[in-house]
């Protein structure tokens, strides 16, 4: 069921219920007050008559004229009867029908005022006449024509206005909900039209300063992220193709040039050595790309063991230096660990070695001194490694992009590299629930800080 249909039923139903309840309460209170007013009127008039008869010695027959008027009165049909203490009628108004039964007589004698009701409101009460000390029973009753008329009119008014209000509520609720939800329909239509081909399209959000506007804004932010990821993915493929095609084209060119004439053994050896270098370069790139793809797709299956960080740093620096003897890598403890186990983290040694190698090689590769310093520090829960170099550095803008695949800064384009190392490094650090940050000043150098959570003491 649509929200609009649900709400246009639910809200009016709740409000109608409240309205009906309100009308019923108004009606019941009116009826109660009408009755109360009439009985107190009857009581006062009857007592006044009793006083006139017994205290002012007015002959009850004198009421006859008044009673006739009362009978004709369409508004309040009053009747008066009074009895002696045995229940015999002493006087009754013209139209009155006596109602005193032995049972009522008994009750009147003990309780003084009795209320009875058929279609008339009726009261009975006992009156003791002072002089002769005689007891009389008074009966006064009336049919509240005017009151009942008012009550019926009130009932019609309430039913009529309740029905009108319910209809009004149903229509206005539907109108306003439809009006408020209309932008949602437009947004849904725009959303439908967005696909990978037009990820730059956005849904309108400017005119809506409410939840729907908020949702549109959040959706646009999601599109921003998707667009960025999609563009990155597209670039990734084209960069990867480019990175592989260029050395292959060079290889092909070199092969064709070499084959143009017969060469001596030294020339063949030199050409093949160059080929080996290029092929190794390509193998490295392919391996990095495969590793990056694997880390993005299947990081869950990476096996973790206890890894001692300082040992792994030393081993890795040995491997890097063996490949590039000109690189200087200094590893030092800037803090001393409080206990030996603080050097152990739960991780994958092979992948962590890849992180250390990338950062050590970059530090050396991008600094004229070809030197990197690795500082080991600690905080309460983490082991922190700073890779500090005094190299070419990066601008703030460049630092924003270095974790994107194939990104390389202008200054370093001449130096060999593919721009895969840092994205891979970042992914591996994330898999180890660590963090990587960089601080850099152009022309002065860079510091990459990697932090891994220490394995808790068991
Ligand atoms: P590669 O080094 O193969 O180009 P990386 O992903 O490791 O790829 O690095 C990406 C880019 O980040 C590098 O090309 C370089 O422009 C910049 N970069 C990385 N490390 C440093 C550093 N220590 N000093 C200056 N620039 C760096």
404-426, pLDDT tens digit by residue? 888 999 999 889 888 989 988 99
Mean pLDDT of the chain: 86
> Residue range 335-341: average pLDDT?
84
Predicted confidence (pLDDT) at residue 73 exceeds the cutoff of 70? no
* Ligand 1 and 421: CB distance under 6 A: yes
Which residue CA neighbors atom 13 of ligand 1 most closely?
408
What is the arithmetic mean of pLDDT over 30-48? 86
Give residue 66's pLDDT: 61
Given the CA of residue 411, which atom of ligand 1 is nearest to it? 16
Please state which of the ranges 151-155, 228-232, 245-249, 333-337 shows the lowest mean pLDDT: 228-232
Rounded to whole angstroms, the Cα distance separating 255 from 251 reads 6
Residue 328: band (very low, low, confident or very high) from pLDDT cuts 50, 70, 90: very high
The pLDDT, as a whole number, for residue 206 is 62
pLDDT band at 129, cuts 50/70/90?
confident
Q: Is 392 in the pocket of ligand 1 (CB under 6 A)?
A: yes
Ligand 1 atom having least distance to the Cα of 417: 3
Average pLDDT value for residue range 79-107: 83
Q: 332 C-alpha vs ligand 1 centroid, how far in Å? A: 23
The SS3 call for residue 78 is strand
Write the residue with the smallest CA distance to atom 12 of ligand 1.
402
Strand partners, 89: 83
450 CA distance to ligand 1 centroid (A)? 15
Q: What is the pLDDT of residue 440?
A: 96
Is 422's C-beta closer than 6 angstroms to any atom of ligand 1? yes
pLDDT digits (tens, 9 = 90+) for 352-386: 998 999 999 999 999 999 999 999 999 988 999 99
Long-range contacts: 216-224, Cβ < 8 Å, 24+? Answer: 216/183, 216/187, 219/187, 219/191, 223/194, 223/199
**Does the pLDDT of residue 40 top 60, yes or no?**
yes
Model pLDDT, residue 67: 57
The proportion of the chain whose per-residue pLDDT surpasses 70, expressed as a percent, equals 93
Percent of the chain whose pLDDT exceeds 90: 36
Looking at residue 72, its pLDDT comes to 46
pLDDT at residue number 69: 55
Closest CA to 406 of 275, 237, 283, 251: 237
Confidence grade of residue 64 (pLDDT, cut at 50, 70, 90): low
Q: Determine whether the shortest distance from the Cβ of 354 to ligand 1 is under 6 A.
A: no
Ligand 1 centroid to residue 109 C-alpha, Å: 113
Ligand 1 centroid–CA 234 distance in Å is 21
CA of 143 to the centre of ligand 1 (A): 104
Task: Please state the rounded mean pLDDT for residues 233-252.
Answer: 80
| pLDDT at 27 exceeding the cut of 90 | yes
- What spacing in Å lies between the alpha carbon of 304 and ligand 1's midpoint? 28
Q: What is the mean pLDDT of residues 218-232?
A: 85
Residue spans of alpha helices (H) in 194-344:
211-259, 265-297, 309-323
Ligand 1 atom closest to Cα of residue 423: 6
Q: Ligand 1 pocket check: which of 402, 403, 405, 425 to mutate, most ligand atoms within 8 Å of Cβ? A: 402
Q: How far apart are the CA of 379 and the centre of ligand 1, in A?
A: 27
Q: Which pLDDT belongs to residue 154? A: 95
Could you tell me the pLDDT band of residue 286, with boundaries at 50, 70 and 90?
A: confident
CA distance 210 to 207: 9
pLDDT score of 207: 64
Judge whether 123 and 46 are in contact, CB under 8 Å: yes
Report the pLDDT averaged over residues 253-263. Answer: 91
Of all protein residues, the one whose alpha carbon is nearest to atom 7 of ligand 1 is 421
Give the pLDDT score at 158: 94
pLDDT-wise least confident of 60-69, 88-97, 234-243, 297-306: 60-69
Average pLDDT score over residue span 113-123: 75
Nearest atom within ligand 1 for CA of residue 393: 25
Does the Cβ of 425 fall within 6 Å of ligand 1?
Answer: no
Q: Is 363 in the pocket of ligand 1 (CB under 6 A)?
A: yes
Torsion sign over Cα 161, 167, 170, 172: negative
Report the pLDDT value the prediction gives residue 269, as an integer from 0 to 100.
93
Find out whether the beta carbon of 355 lies less than 6 Å from any atom of ligand 1.
Answer: no
Residue 329, strand partner residues? 372
- 451 touches ligand 1 (CB under 6 Å): no
Residue 50 reports pLDDT greater than 90: no
Whole-angstrom CA distances from 290 to 117, 228, 293 are 98, 22, 5
Residue 295: what pLDDT? 75
**385-397 residue pLDDT tens:** 999 999 999 999 9
Q: State if residue 402 touches ligand 1 by the CB under 6 angstroms criterion.
A: yes
Cα–Cα distance measured from residue 111 to residue 105, given in angstroms and rounded to the nearest whole number: 10
Cα distances (angstroms) measured from residue 160 to each of 8, 147, 153, 188? 21, 20, 10, 41
Nearest to 393 by CA among 444, 342, 428: 444
Residue 420 near ligand 1, beta carbon < 6 Å? yes
In this predicted structure, what is the pLDDT of residue 163? Answer: 92
pLDDT at 134: 78
Strands 328-333 and 371-378: parallel
Q: What's residue 320's pLDDT? A: 93
Residues 311-315 have a mean pLDDT of 95
Q: What spacing in Å lies between the alpha carbon of 407 and ligand 1's midpoint?
A: 8
């Amino acid at each position: 069921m649509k929200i609009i249909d649900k709400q246009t039923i639910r809200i009016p139903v709740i409000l109608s219920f409240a309205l009906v309840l309100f009308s019923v309460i108004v009606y019941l209170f009116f009826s109660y007050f009408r009755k109360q007013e009439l009985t107190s009127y009857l009581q006062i008039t009857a007592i006044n008559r009793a006083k006139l008869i017994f205290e002012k010695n007015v002959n009850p027959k004198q009421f006859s004229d008044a009673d006739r008027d009362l009978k004709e009165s369409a508004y309040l049909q009053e009747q008066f009867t009074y009895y002696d203490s045995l229940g015999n009628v002493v006087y009754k108004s013209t139209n009155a029908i006596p109602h005193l039964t032995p049972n009522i007589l008994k009750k009147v004698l003990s309780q003084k005022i009795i209320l009875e009701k058929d279609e008339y409101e009726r009261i009975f009460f006992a009156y003791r006449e002072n002089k002769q000390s005689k007891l009389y029973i008074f009966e006064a009753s009336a049919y509240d024509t005017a009151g009942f008329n008012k009550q019926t009119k009130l009932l019609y008014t309430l039913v009529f206005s309740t029905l009108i209000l319910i209809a009004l509520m149903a229509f206005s609720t539907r109108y306003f909900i439809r009006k408020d939800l209309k932008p949602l329909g437009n947004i849904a239509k725009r959303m439908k039209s967005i696909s990978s081909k037009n990820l730059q399209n956005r849904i309108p959000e400017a005119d809506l300063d409410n939840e729907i506007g908020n949702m549109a804004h959040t959706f646009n932010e999601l599109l921003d992220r998707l667009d960025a990821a999609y563009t990155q993915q597209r670039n990734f493929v084209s960069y990867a193709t480019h990175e592989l095609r260029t050395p292959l084209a060079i290889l092909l060119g070199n092969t064709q040039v070499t084959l143009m004439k017969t060469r001596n053994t030294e020339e063949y050896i030199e050409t093949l050595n160059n080929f080996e270098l290029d092929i190794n370069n390509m193998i490295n790139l392919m391996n990095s790309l495969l590793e990056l793809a694997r880390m993005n797709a299947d990081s869950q299956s990476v096996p973790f063991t206890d890894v001692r960080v300082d040992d792994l740093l030393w081993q890795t620096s040995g491997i890097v230096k063996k490949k590039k003897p000109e690189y200087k890598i200094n590893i030092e403890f800037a803090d001393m660990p409080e206990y030996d186990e603080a050097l152990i983290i739960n991780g994958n040694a092979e992948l962590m070695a890849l992180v250390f190698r990338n950062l050590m090689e970059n530090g050396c590769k991008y600094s004229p001194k070809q030197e990197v310093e690795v500082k080991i520090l600690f905080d309460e829960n983490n082991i922190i490694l700073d890779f500090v170099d005094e190299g070419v550095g990066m601008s703030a803008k460049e630092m924003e992009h270095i974790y994107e695949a194939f990104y390389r800064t202008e200054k370093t384009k001449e130096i060999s590299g593919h721009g895969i190392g840092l994205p891979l490094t970042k992914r591996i650090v994330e898999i180890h629930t660590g963090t990587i940050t960089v601080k850099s000043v152009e022309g002065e150098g860079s510091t990459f800080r990697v932090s891994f959570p220490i394995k808790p003491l068991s």
